[in-house]
Structure formats: C-alpha cells, structure tokens
Chains A and B, each alone.
Chain A
C-alpha cells in the first residue's frame, strides 16, 4: 500500500492567493483527518470526515478555510485568500474504524505551506 498521499509536498504562494492541498487516503479507510502543525501551536486537528461526510470542523480556524471530500479516495483543503499566518505544515491522515478499539491514524508526509 502506498500509504496516505499528499500533494504538493511544498507550496510557496503570495498573500491573497488561493491554495489547494490534496490528500488521497489509504484505500479502504473511511475516516480522513486534516491537521495543521506549527511551532507555536503544535499539531491541531482542523476537520475530519467519516464516510465522506464532515463530522467535526470545529478546528477550522476561519471561513477562509474549507475542506471537501467528494469521494472516498480524495479530499481537498482550500485556503482562500491565504495569509502569512497560514504558513505551516498540513498533514492528512486516514483510519479504518474497528469495532472495539480506537482507530489508528496513518499520516501522510505533509504539505509545507509558505505564504509570503
């Protein structure tokens, strides 16, 4: 299995531009998570989907952020317009629910976003 795939790996953009981050979860996993990692705040859960439906988006910082999961094998995280404070590493993770134990999340390599 190729694991969780994220693209691009690095993104440099200018303030005000739209940024789209992409994620392909592990095949068969039905939960998908978007995290943001910064030095100041550590790892933060932004949103997660279960069976393509957004379950908890309370971590999305503001309306400039949006996430979609049109099908089981693809998700996007969009920032429009982007700001310098959005600079961070964005991770996608996926998991497959088990009956009796907490799902283990498998992380992608991350997208390092720099907003100038």
Chain B
C-alpha cells in the first residue's frame, strides 16, 4: 500500500525567501502525486499534480514540485515566499482506484 511522509510539521520562512516543503512517498506502482493547500477555515485546493508526465511540475501561485523516483521524493518549492502563502500543505500519493493517502501536513508560516 502507498504512503506518504511529510518530513516537517512546521516550516517558517521570511517573506521573499525560498520555500521548501519536503515529501517522501512509498508506492508499489507508478504513483500519482499531488500537493494540496489549505488556508485557515477553508477547504483543500489543488496546487499541482504529477501523473507520469514531466518530472518537474508547475502549479498555481508560483509553486512547483519535482518528482524524483530514485529518492522517492516530491518536494514542493517556491522561489520567493509571500505572506499569502501561509497555510497548511498536504502531500498526497495515489496508486489509482481512488485510493489517496494524505500526509500529516506541513504548516507554513511566513514572517514579514
């Protein structure tokens, strides 16, 4: 069965500095991978997804993630953090059949 580990429960960065949210996955098949963002008191919004096409995936709001099979990683990055990026981020892996496994989440804090 697939699983996902988000390596940091909380990440704090200063506005304008790079963001790195780490995610490692375990999967028996060629997985699909997603990043979702959840702002306070809001639902989950899809940031980006990887589905066996290009390994570097660009998402909304300047985020991107790179699928590295050799490292079983799918880290989320952004060159320059904005105050509005403060939220909870979830890495998700799926082997198909609607079976999505969510990571525990990483809370991103952006300091002025």
Interface residues of A (CB under 8 A from B): 4, 31, 33, 42-43, 45, 48, 50, 55-56, 91, 93, 95, 101-110, 112
Enumerate chain A residues within 8 angstroms of B90, measured Cβ to Cβ. Answer: 43
A92 to B39, CA, bound (A): 16
13 A-B contact pairs sorted by A residue (CB < 8 Å): A33-B98, A42-B102, A42-B105, A45-B100, A48-B98, A91-B44, A101-B52, A102-B51, A103-B98, A104-B34, A107-B43, A107-B44, A110-B43
Enumerate chain B residues within 8 angstroms of A95, measured Cβ to Cβ. Answer: 98
Besides A56-B98, A95-B98, 11 new A-B residue pairs in contact (Cβ under 8 A), listed by A number = A42-B103, A42-B104, A43-B90, A48-B98, A50-B98, A55-B98, A91-B43, A102-B94, A102-B96, A106-B46, A107-B36
Enumerate chain B residues within 8 angstroms of A105, measured Cβ to Cβ. Answer: 46, 100
9 nearest interchain CB pairs?
A102-B32, A101-B51, A107-B44, A107-B43, A109-B43, A43-B102, A102-B94, A42-B104, A110-B43
Residue pairs across A and B with CB atoms within 8 Å: the count is 44
**Across the interface, do A104 and B104 meet the contact criterion of CB distance under 8 Å?**
no
- Tell me how far the C-beta of A3 lies from the nearest C-beta in chain B, rounded to whole angstroms: 8
- Tell me how far the C-beta of B53 lies from the nearest C-beta in chain A, rounded to whole angstroms: 9
Determine if B78 is an interface residue (Cβ-Cβ < 8 Å): no
Interface string of B69-112 (1 = CB under 8 A from A): 00000000000000000000010001010101011110000000
Enumerate chain B residues within 8 angstroms of A110, measured Cβ to Cβ. Answer: 42-43
- Tell me how far the C-beta of B98 lies from the nearest C-beta in chain A, rounded to whole angstroms: 6
Determine if B45 is an interface residue (Cβ-Cβ < 8 Å): yes
Which residue of B41, B51, B98 has the most chain A CB atoms within 10 A of its CB atom?
A: B98
**Across the interface, do B98 and A101 meet the contact criterion of CB distance under 8 Å?**
no
Which residue of B41, B45, B90, B103 has the most chain A CB atoms within 10 A of its CB atom?
A: B41
Enumerate chain B residues within 8 angstroms of A43, measured Cβ to Cβ. Answer: 90, 102, 105
- Tell me how far the C-beta of B57 lies from the nearest C-beta in chain A, rounded to whole angstroms: 13
A100 to B81, CA, bound (A): 34
Of all chain A residues, the one with the shortest Cβ separation from B51 is A101
**Across the interface, do A104 and B46 meet the contact criterion of CB distance under 8 Å?**
yes
A106 to B49, CA, bound (A): 12
